[in-house]
Amino acid sequence: MKKALIKGNNAVVYSALLAGCRNFFGYPITPASEIAEGSALLYPKVGGTFLQAESEIGAINMVYGAASSGVRCMTASSSPGISLKMEGISYLAGAELPCVIVDVSRGGPGLGNIAPEQGDYNQIVKGGGHGNYKLIVLAPNSAQEMCDLTMLAFDLADKYRNPTVVLADGTIGQMMEPVEFPPPITTFPKKEWAVKATLETRENLISSIELDADRLEIHNQKLQKKYAIIEEKEVRYEAYCCDDAEIILCGFGIISRLLQSVVDEMRAEGIAVGMLRPITLFPFPKNIVDYYTLKRNLKFFNVFELNNGQMVDDVKLVVNGRKPVYFYGRMGGNLPTQKEIIHEVMKNMRQS
């Protein structure tokens, strides 16, 4: 594919196909509907399967069935739709089934509105469904990253046999930007565990049910060891002008685009500001937050989110009172302006 001017949502569709996904199960919901629409158009053209389920609950359980056979598969939705999928997501995590879930989040709670928000952080990163599981969570901040991180999501899902989420928002999903698509993936890992209706896989069993308490505990301990490996090996972040920063602004997704512009503007005025952007929300970049916390010249962190304060809890947990951590959030689908962010930072500078 050539470089194209394309919506973030549509970039997901093309990149999933380039990643070897040929099975999409979904249910339309704004502002994620272009992913289902584009998949309905393109998957059949390449010999794939698009199926609009009767509901979000049906879609996630179709993903469970397809993932059990070892094929690359995915679904996409937005905040209330993701809530409906949570039971199935927990089943997928318990059965260690690789799949990709795209969440183009919107305002809430309840039905909310179709404007961009980041209120799904706790639901996705902390495990909104039941049980002791973790999802690998990638947070793009551009249409290009909607492509790149979707392709990465399929690789990580297969590598760790774990559901992987691309957590975006309405702005990233709807904005049009140039996207350069990479070559298609043609080599895929063997999945000896899959159920393929063959004699060789007849003994394979895919299930998240374990009625014996001791055996279920052993399975949970196995999962926790896997998550620890993911935390060790798969952390991704962007540190922008942080090495000499006296103030570090933290944000993920679309808010990080605004923060980078704020850093440039404040640096031009001689104020040593940097930006730290987690790209993986799980695994969270704890070590890099800790690294900057230990720098003597750092005065404080300022976390900006489009929610009531959710990622800020993870920042505070790492900082552990060694430096001030300030929070500023907008809700309901509102984005702060650069002027608004600078005003907040200057206010906190006067307090520190």
- Over residues 249-272, the mean pLDDT reads 98
Transcribe 172-224 into DSSP letters: HHH-EEEE-PPPPP------TT---SSSTTTT--------SHHHHHHHHHHHH
pLDDT of 293 strictly over 80 = yes
- Over residues 197-210, the mean pLDDT reads 92
Could you tell me where in the chain the CATH 3.40.50.920 domains are found? Answer: 237-351
pLDDT of residue 81: 98
| Strand partners of residue 249 | 275, 302
- For residues 270 and 117, give the distance between their C-alpha atoms in angstroms, rounded to a whole number: 32
Alpha carbon separation from 194 to 62, 75, 100, 189, 207 (Å, rounded): 15, 19, 17, 12, 11
pLDDT of residue 304: 98
Buried-exposed string 184-219: b where 16+ CB fall within 10 A, e elsewhere: eeeeeeebeebbeeeeebeeeebebeeeeeeebeeb
pTM greater than 0.85 = yes
- For residues 237 and 311, give the distance between their C-alpha atoms in angstroms, rounded to a whole number: 14
Could you tell me where in the chain the CATH 3.40.50.970 domains are found? Answer: 4-233
What are the tokens at 41?
């158009």
The string of pLDDT tens digits covering residues 102-159 is 999 999 999 999 999 999 999 999 988 999 999 999 999 999 999 999 999 999 999 9
| Strand partners of residue 52 | 26
Cβ-Cβ contacts under 8 Å for 112 (sequence gap 6 or more): 79, 80, 106, 332, 333
Q: What is the dihedral of CA 145, 151, 152, 155, to 10 degrees?
A: 170
Instruction: Name the DSSP letter for residue 45.
Output: G
pLDDT of residue 33: 97
CB 273 within 8 A of CB 263: yes
pLDDT of residue 204: 94
Instruction: Name the DSSP letter for residue 108.
Output: -
Nearest Cα residue to 351 out of 312, 302, 316, 306 = 302
- For residues 5 and 239, give the distance between their C-alpha atoms in angstroms, rounded to a whole number: 27
Out of 3.30.420.40, 3.90.1170.50, 3.40.50.410, 3.40.50.970, select the CATH number for domain 4-233.
3.40.50.970
The string of pLDDT tens digits covering residues 6-51 is 999 999 999 999 999 999 999 999 999 999 999 999 999 999 999 9
Cβ-Cβ contacts under 8 Å for 131 (sequence gap 6 or more): 90, 93, 94, 220
- For residues 59 and 85, give the distance between their C-alpha atoms in angstroms, rounded to a whole number: 8
Residue that has been written with the tokens 């393929």 in this structure: 196
Alpha carbon separation from 166 to 36, 53, 137, 279, 318 (Å, rounded): 15, 21, 6, 10, 24
The string of pLDDT tens digits covering residues 152-200 is 999 999 999 999 999 999 999 999 999 999 999 999 999 999 999 899 9
Cβ-Cβ contacts under 8 Å for 252 (sequence gap 6 or more): 118, 139, 141, 277, 278, 279, 281, 305, 311
Which class in CATH covers the domain with range 237-351?
alpha beta
- For residues 202 and 32, give the distance between their C-alpha atoms in angstroms, rounded to a whole number: 38
**Residue 352 — very low, low, confident or very high, per pLDDT cuts 50/70/90?**
confident
- For residues 302 and 249, give the distance between their C-alpha atoms in angstroms, rounded to a whole number: 5
Can you state the angle between helices 8-18 and 33-42, rounded to 10 degrees? 40
Q: Is the dihedral of CA 108, 33, 170, 23 positive or negative?
A: positive
- For residues 176 and 348, give the distance between their C-alpha atoms in angstroms, rounded to a whole number: 34
| Strand partners of residue 73 | 23
